[in-house]
A and B are shown apart, each in its own frame.
Chain A
Amino acid sequence: MDWSCAALLAQHAASAPGAAAVEQELTAVTRLAINLSYLLSAALFIFGLKMLAHPRTARIGNRLSAFGMLIAIVVTLGDRHIVSYWTIIAGIIAGGTIGAILAVRVKMTGMPQMVGLLNGFGGLASAVVAFGEFLWSAADPSKTPRIDTLVSIGLSVLIGTVTFTGSLTAFAKLEGLKFRGIVLSNPFVFPFQHWLNVGLLLLTVLMITFVTRNYEHALWAVILLYLIAAALGVLVVMPIGGADMPVVISLLNSYSGLAAMTTGFALDNYCLIITGSLVGASGIILTKIMCDAMNRSLLNVVAGGFGQEASGPGSTQAATGLTVRKMDAEEAAMVLEAAQSVVIVPGYGMAVAQAQHSVAEMAALLEKKGVNVRYGIHPVAGRMPGHMNVLLAEANVPYEQLYDLSINDEMPQIDVAIVIGANDVVNPAARDEPGNPIYGMPIFEVDKCKTVMVSKRSLNPGFAGIENPLFYKENTVMLFGDAKKMVTEISQQLKGH
Chain B
Amino acid sequence: MLLAESVIELFTNNFVVFVLAMFIGFEIISKVPPILHTPLMSGSNAISGITIVGALVIAGLHHAWWSEFFGFLAVTFAMINVVGGYTVTDRMLAMFKRR
Contact = CB atoms under 8 A, between A and B. Distances in A.
B39 A52 contact: yes
Nearest to A135: B66
A128 B31 CA distance: 33
A311 B79 CA distance: 41
Given A1-B27, A76-B53, A273-B17, A393 B96 contact: yes
A271 B41 contact: no
A201 interface: no
B25 A272 contact: no
B41 A250 contact: yes
Interface in A98-134: 98-100, 102-104, 106, 108, 111, 114-115, 118-119, 121-122, 124-126, 128-129, 131-133
A91 B92 contact: no
A172 B24 CA distance: 34
A65 B38 contact: no
A280 B22 contact: yes
A379 interface: yes
B44 A279 contact: yes
A384 B24 CA distance: 24
B43 A48 contact: yes
Given A121-B80, A398-B98, A393 B17 contact: no
A7 to B, nearest CB: 10
B32 A52 contact: yes
B95 to A, nearest CB: 4
Contacts of B74: 91, 125, 128-129, 132
B88 A122 contact: no
Contact of A280 (B13, B25, B40): B25
A95 interface: yes
B57 A122 contact: no
Contacts of B22: 277, 280-281
B48 A256 contact: yes
Interface string A247-263: 00110010011011101
Nearest to B30: A285
A386 B92 CA distance: 11
A83 interface: yes
Contacts of A132: 54-55, 58, 66-67, 70-71, 74
B36 A278 contact: no
Contact of B38 (A45, A46, A384): A384
Given A69-B47, A269-B53, A390-B39, A87 B18 contact: no
A443 interface: no
B29 A282 contact: yes
Nearest to B35: A389
Contact of A81 (B33, B45, B60): B60
Given A253-B44, A385-B41, A386-B38, A102 B54 contact: no
Contacts of A459: none
Nearest to B38: A386
Interface string A62-87: 11011011001100110101111101
Contacts of A52: 32, 36, 39-40, 43
A80 B82 CA distance: 24
B81 A386 contact: no
A103 B92 contact: no
Contacts of B32: 49, 52-53
Contacts of B35: 55, 377, 386, 389, 399, 402, 404
B44 A62 contact: no
A209 to B, nearest CB: 13
B7 A49 contact: no
A371 interface: no
A76 B40 CA distance: 26
Contacts of B38: 111, 115, 384-387, 389-390
Given A104-B87, A128-B74, A132-B70, A275 B47 contact: yes
A144 B58 CA distance: 18
Interface string B62-91: 111011101111111111111111111111
Interface stretch (A8-16, A182-190, A328-336): A8-16
B10 A268 contact: yes
B36 A55 contact: yes
Interface string A21-41: 000000000000000001001
A202 interface: no
A281 B54 CA distance: 21
7 contacts: A49-B44, A133-B58, A384-B41, A385-B34, A386-B34, A386-B41, A390-B38
A-B interface, 9 closest residue pairs, ranked by CB to CB distance from nearest: A95-B79, A281-B25, A91-B75, A386-B37, A82-B60, A99-B83, A99-B84, A103-B87, A277-B21
Given A124-B77, A132-B54, 18 more contacts: A2-B27, A9-B17, A9-B24, A49-B28, A58-B96, A76-B52, A82-B57, A82-B60, A90-B72, A94-B72, A102-B80, A115-B38, A121-B84, A125-B51, A265-B11, A289-B37, A384-B38, A389-B34
Interface of B: 1, 3, 7, 10-11, 13-14, 16-18, 20-64, 66-68, 70-99
